[in-house]
């Protein structure tokens, strides 16, 4: 039996490791291609390079996906970070757009979750159902009302047209109550017996216990808002106000080296955030009942 268990564990480890490598291959390909020279990039991906490959007998003339560059260079990163100020400008645009949305939604969702999960008041279940229904609606359904409202309030071509709907989005209000349901109500009863108000109970007892759930919510919101394209394109007419996600979608075929380098820099904040909050993220997802 021990031999069989070791064999099963080894097979499972090999399978999961192979699957992880397959999933990481696109990221590795982006990183290694960002270190290639312009000449090698053109040979591998440009139509002229593909035609040259066809003349050498490589049929059909598809793109040549190389994992390891012939010559390593940081020239592409220099173009993105030094020669072109557009990337850094839109990078800061993304931060100034995403961070207020995350902080605002976490604050609103945490307070609303406490009311929906631990307080009893008329219409509580109906209110939660309304939040759930609004979350299930496709983005295209709420886009037109949001645009009309932003136009009426004079917020078009302003980050406020994106930030305010993001702060009051329904996802956090749906996620955190699922996490708070695991907190025994006896803690709140004990706080009441000690004379604590709801505000003190929330900040002294509930909030420290839901830190993993908040960490998971922050990671999920950051990934969602960092990658948004439709809202900035529709609500922000000024290209200098648009975030980095829009800039990446506009890189043309003649700037493949910049595209790879910019893509690598673009995904770095998400990777660092996930690695930093990995344990809290996994714990929060497990306790909140969400499954990826």
pLDDT value of position 95: 92
Q: At what angle do helices 211-226 and 171-180 cross, to 10 degrees?
A: 160
CB of 209 within 8 A of CB of 280?
no
CB of 162 within 8 A of CB of 101?
yes
CB of 266 within 8 A of CB of 228?
no
Q: Which residue has the higher pLDDT, 213 or 290?
A: 213
> What class is the 79-288 domain?
mainly alpha
**Cα separations (Å) of 69 from 33, 46, 254?**
7, 16, 19
Which among 198, 186, 182, 173 is positioned nearest to 119, based on CA atoms? 198
Report, in this order, helix, strand and coil percent for the chain, each rounded to 5. Answer: 75, 0, 25
- Res. 104: pLDDT tops 90: yes
What's the whole-model pTM score?
Answer: 0.81
CB atoms within 10 A of CB 232: 23
CB of 197 within 8 A of CB of 239?
no
Write out pLDDT tens, residues 254-287. Answer: 677 788 888 888 988 888 888 887 777 776 666 6
> What is the average pLDDT across 108-134?
86
The percentage of the chain sitting over the pLDDT mark of 70, rounded to a whole number, equals 87
Spatial separation of the C-alpha atoms in residues 54 and 49, rounded to whole Å: 9
**Cα separations (Å) of 91 from 88, 200, 203, 221?**
5, 39, 34, 17
Domain boundaries, the chain: 2-72, 79-288
The percentage of the chain sitting over the pLDDT mark of 90, rounded to a whole number, equals 10
- Res. 58: pLDDT tops 60: no
pLDDT value of position 52: 47
């Amino acid at each position: 039996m021990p031999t069989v268990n070791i064999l099963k564990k080894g097979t499972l480890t090999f399978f999961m490791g192979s699957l992880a490598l397959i999933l990481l291959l696109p990221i590795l390909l982006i990183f290694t291609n960002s270190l290639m020279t312009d000449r090698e990039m053109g040979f591998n991906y440009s139509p002229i390079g593909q035609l040259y490959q066809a003349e050498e007998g490589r049929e059909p003339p598809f793109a040549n996906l190389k994992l390891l560059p012939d010559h390593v260079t940081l020239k592409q990163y220099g173009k993105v970070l030094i020669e072109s100020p557009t990337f850094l400008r839109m990078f800061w645009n993304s931060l100034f757009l995403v961070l207020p949305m995350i902080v605002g939604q976490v604050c609103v969702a945490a307070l609303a979750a406490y009311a929906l999960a631990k307080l009893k008041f008329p219409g509580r279940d109906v209110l939660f159902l309304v939040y759930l229904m609004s979350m299930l609606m496709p983005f295209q359904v709420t886009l037109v009302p949001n645009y009309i409202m932003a136009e009426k309030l004079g917020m078009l071509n302003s980050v406020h047209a994106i930030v305010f709907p993001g702060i009051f989005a329904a996802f956090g209000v749906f996620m955190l109550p699922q996490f708070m349901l695991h907190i025994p109500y006896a803690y709140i009863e004990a706080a009441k017996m000690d004379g604590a108000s709801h505000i003190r109970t929330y900040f002294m007892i509930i909030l420290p216990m839901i830190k993993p759930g908040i960490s998971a919510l922050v990671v999920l919101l950051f990934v969602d808002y960092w990658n948004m394209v439709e809202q900035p394109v529709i609500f922000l007419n000024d290209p200098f106000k648009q975030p980095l996600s829009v800039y990446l979608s506009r890189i043309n075929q003649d700037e493949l080296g910049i595209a790879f380098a910019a893509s690598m820099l673009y995904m770095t904040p998400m990777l660092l955030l996930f690695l930093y909050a990995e344990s809290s993220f996994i714990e929060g997802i497990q306790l909140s009942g969400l499954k990826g």
